[in-house]
Amino acid sequence: MSTEYIVIGNGVAGTEAAKNIRKRDTSVEIRIFTQEHYPFYSRPRIPELLAKEITLEAFFVYNLEWYHKNKIQLCLNSTVKEVDPRNRKLLLADGSNFTYSKLLLATGSSGALPHIEGIATAEGVFTLRSVEDVMAITRRAMGAKTVTLIGGGLLGIEAGNGLRKLGISVTIVEMFDRLLPRQLDGEGAAMLQKQMEGMGLKFILGAKSKSIQEKGHTKILELADGRIVESDFILVSAGIVPNIALAKTAGISVNKGILVNDRMETNIPGIYAAGDVAEHKGRVYGIWPAAQRQGVVAGINMAGGNETYTGTVPSTTLKVAGIRLTSMGDVLAENKGVEQVTRKDALTYCYKKLFIKEGRLAGAILLGDNKNAHDLAQLMEKKVDISGWKEKILEPEFDIKSLLK
């Protein structure tokens, strides 16, 4: 069988690419292959699905009708086993094969498993990346009273909060000495921790996990300092690993991710990569806005356009009811010449900090009040000189939009 455009992966990058190909060509054949059992859904909302705050139907971004209307063939439960760039052909696990004129690898990422003895063989240890993972964890959570969560990053905290809402006692074990080590400094992290402890979450920080053992249904996590944490099951949230195996065996250049240029094209003409699997200028973003933009750029260029990807300002928002937190840009302030402007109020758990380099905003932490996040991101993206306003920007009455005109 032959087809014109093939996309492997139906996450945000793959779907945006297919949409943008279709916008530019109403008749060409577009086919998406995915191992998923479901059409495109919002991966950032997985913790909400776990907490039963949304239904599976509300979770889908596009239903099957949308694919039909846009003449995009979605092939669910389909594993691509091999890419043959020389003959522009794909081989599927079921033995079928397809030829392509342009190919996008949007194979995403998997949950990373840290080096902990017994982690790969123990039953009742989960990662959280897909609807199937949610279903498996939900089944396990029935009748469970306790869970240990390895990893105090964004997804870990959101997932832990989701399980807390199901009535389970949650202990989060984090290797760093603070929560959200990529998004918060020490002071902000301490404030967030206090707030989350008030909600019932427990934390063990600066703790390296050594081994996982089992005693009946009980999981025993041994820490490097000899402490023991027992629970009914374990959820690991320790970052992502790009799914590069398919590209690697096809002779496509890879490092941490699949290497792409500004057009999201790989070293092999006609083959593109986008989303969590792509590495652009030494960076694998692993965030939704980057994957979305990369998918758009890849789709436009696959359809004959000339669009460039210039990078994405890293911005993450914690989605936990009652807590407002957005972190953007570089907030680790280890660079010399970075000025810091802080406003805080411990009583209201409000902590705001700007990181300014050479008169321009390099990063921002907004805890407790993140309503100006979009405007601050614009300042950062447009590289606006804020040196004359830096002391006023965080004042409640200051109009940030006036600097964007």
**Weakest mean pLDDT among 124-128, 230-234, 332-336, 382-386:** 332-336
Are 201 and 261 members of one domain?
no
The answer to whether residue 311 sits within a structural domain is no
Q: Is 313 exposed, middle or buried (0-12, 13-18, 19+ CB in 10 A)?
A: middle
Name the average pLDDT for the chain. Answer: 94
Domain match, 342 and 397 both: yes
299 near 16, Cβ under 8 Å?
Answer: yes
Contact 317, 325 (CB under 8 A): yes
**Domain ends where: 182, 206, 236?**
236
Confidence at residue 390, expressed as pLDDT on a 0 to 100 scale = 87
CATH number of residue 377's parent domain: 3.30.390.30
Residues 157-207: tens digit of each pLDDT? 999 999 999 999 999 999 999 999 889 999 999 999 999 999 999 999 999
What percent of the chain clears pLDDT 90, i.e. is strictly above it? 84
Is 257:282 a contact under the CB 8 Å cutoff?
Answer: no
Q: State which residues form the domain around 64.
A: 5-110+240-302
CA distances 7 to 86, 176, 291, 298, 302, Å, are 18, 38, 14, 11, 11
pTM of the model: 0.92
> In sequence order, which ranges of 26-94 are alpha helices (DSSP H)?
46-50, 56-59, 64-69
Do residues 188 and 225 share a domain?
yes
Confidence of residue 96 (pLDDT cuts 50, 70, 90): very high
Task: Say whether both 100 and 139 belong to one domain.
Answer: no
In this predicted structure, the answer to whether residue 365 has a pLDDT above a threshold of 70 is: yes
Residue with structure tokens 């964004």? 154
At 1, the pLDDT band (50, 70, 90 cuts) reads very low
Indicate whether 106 and 244 sit together in one domain.
yes
Do 11 and 104 belong to one domain? yes
- Judge contact between 236 and 263, C-beta under 8 A: no
Query: Does some domain include residue 65?
Result: yes
Q: Tell me, yes or no, whether 317 lies in a domain.
A: no
Statement to judge: residues 274 and 293 lie in one domain: yes
Domain boundary residue among 188, 204, 236? Answer: 236
Residue 307 lies in a domain: no
210 pLDDT more than 90 = yes
DSSP string, 9-28: --SHHHHHHHHHHHHH-SSS
Q: Is the pLDDT of residue 107 over 50?
A: yes
Indicate the residue among 236, 256, 287 that finishes a domain: 236
Domain of residue 131, CATH code: 3.50.50.60
In this prediction, residue 13 carries a pLDDT of 98
Q: Are residues 338 and 397 in the same domain?
A: yes
Domain count, the chain: 3
The predicted pLDDT at position 3 comes to 59
Residue 56 belongs to a domain: yes
Q: Please, what is the angle between helix 12-24 and helix 288-302, to 10°? A: 30
Same domain, 230 and 253: no
Percent of the chain with pLDDT over 70: 98
Residue 59 lies in a domain: yes
Whether residue 91 has pLDDT greater than 50: yes
With CA atoms as reference, report the closest residue to 177 among 193, 159, 196.
193
Same domain, 129 and 232: yes
Q: Which CA distances in Å does 215 have to 6, 122, 144, 314?
A: 47, 11, 15, 42
Q: Look at residue 315 and tell me if it is in a domain.
A: no
Is residue 401 a contact partner of residue 379, using CB atoms and an 8 Å limit? no
Are 59 and 42 in contact by the 8 Å Cβ rule? The answer is: yes
Residues 149 and 102 in one domain: no
Identify whether residues 143 and 72 lie together within a single domain. Answer: no
